[in-house]
A = this chain, B = another copy of it.
């Protein structure tokens, strides 16, 4: 099917003339596979430019020669967006990892796309600032990849999405043109905000080589509390009360259900901080500038939640190690689910009020199909829900004894139809990649998709960047 040029020795020689020793042609396992071992490509060459100019030269050549390219950052994605489908050349930003500059007054950071998120965050913390995003993969994901996939994570509730915090991008277009999209300024109303198209474009329009981002001041105080609740309605009430009581210092409001906690206890051996059981749990975090004030606010919230019987149980972390413990429970859920056996993972956006209906509906649906029974043995062993309530983002994990065609067909496209019925999104934060491209129509209508195709054509007329993905073929 591929209409792209197959790489020859002459191409490799040319790449070496641009990049010297930064061309890899053997032991490409780590680059050809995603970390879940779910997606596997067959590229024969990885290019690791060190400068934007080198990226430009590589792309100029690939454009002329009609060579397909997949840009790769930390390769931590969940939808197969960063590994080749066939034999596309892999262009890795691994060696582009310089911090370019930082403005201590405004908090504006300029960095190479290949900087690792955690490295940037540590660097900033020493200077009294933090990165405005935080996610599980922070130890390996690149800021360029974060921007390309519009990464969300656990602090979006507080600091907003990358569409608000990214101020400008340096990109290399498929034909090798280096373009500055915007400026490292908070306000700039001169023309279409083209950088926004690249945020979340998953490497299909150009290669992000530099990122300028607004970073918030480092908080001076953190509190974390865990609550047990009797119903999802109570979770919503707790969310409203938290917004009111904590206001500006609320930095995370996460929830998970009882099966999630059971799995974490079973597979990760984490201690349950509660005596009894509750059908729902929520984790609330504050980050602020004044410990005394923040402690008072969270205590007042706890009082309020207890008095009004919104929560049935609650624990406030007494020190940092307890905070870490509470976060481990929440963040350990995906890992614990994976240890249970087979897994079908979905990352959905649904209006907050109806978020958990999706879990209940899916359980019912699978029960009716005879594939799931809470008390009997069945191929589906569990349907668990957790996620970022504050963002209306549900992570729905369907656990099974193994992955079969029958199970998959029982779940998909039903899960996407269900999401559409709530006017939701079939990908809240993970993106489309290879996995969800065929299902795009469940979240976007045909006119929208046609305009996406026209935009793709404007920037990548030959379609050489990250082919076969993102857009329905």
What residues make up the interface of A, taking CB atoms closer than 8 Å to B? Answer: 103-108, 128, 149-150, 152, 156, 160-161, 163-165, 177, 179-181, 183-194, 196-197, 199-201, 205, 217, 219-220, 236, 239-240, 243-249, 288-290, 293, 296-297, 349-353, 388, 390-393, 423-432, 436, 440, 443-445, 447-449, 451-452, 454-455, 458-459, 470
Contacts and interface: CB of A to CB of B under 8 A. Distances in A.
A393 B189 CA distance: 11
28 contacts: A103-B353, A106-B353, A149-B189, A163-B163, A163-B164, A164-B165, A179-B448, A183-B423, A187-B425, A188-B428, A189-B200, A189-B427, A189-B430, A190-B427, A190-B436, A190-B444, A191-B440, A191-B444, A193-B197, A196-B197, A217-B244, A219-B247, A220-B247, A244-B289, A247-B288, A247-B290, A290-B297, A458-B458
Contacts of A240: 104-105
Contacts of A436: 190
A289 B106 contact: no
Sort A-B residue pairs by CB-CB distance and give the 5 closest, nearest first: A164-B164, A247-B289, A196-B196, A188-B425, A248-B248
A424 B168 CA distance: 12
A210 to B, nearest CB: 14
A262 to B, nearest CB: 27
Nearest to A161: B164
A288 B290 CA distance: 13
A41 B353 CA distance: 48
A113 B397 CA distance: 39
A432 B189 contact: yes
A355 to B, nearest CB: 10
A292 to B, nearest CB: 9
Contacts of A179: 445, 447-448, 451
A96 to B, nearest CB: 21
Q: Which of A188, A200, A390, A426 has the most CB of B within 10 A?
A: A188
Contacts of A160: 160, 164-165
Given A107-B243, A150-B193, 12 more contacts: A150-B189, A161-B187, A186-B392, A187-B429, A188-B427, A189-B431, A190-B432, A191-B200, A192-B205, A193-B199, A194-B452, A197-B197
A177 B450 CA distance: 12
B106 A392 contact: yes
Contacts of A424: 183, 185
Nearest to A251: B248
A392 to B, nearest CB: 5
A156 B187 contact: yes
A21 to B, nearest CB: 32
A304 to B, nearest CB: 13
A207 to B, nearest CB: 15
Interface centre among A105, A181, A429 (most CB of B within 10 A): A105
A318 to B, nearest CB: 22
Contacts of A128: 244
Contacts of A390: 186
B190 A443 contact: yes
A428 B186 CA distance: 8
A323 B43 CA distance: 64
A163 B199 CA distance: 12
Contact of A239 (B105, B183, B445): B105
Most chain B beta-carbon contacts within 10 A, residue among A189, A247, A425: A189
B186 A391 contact: yes
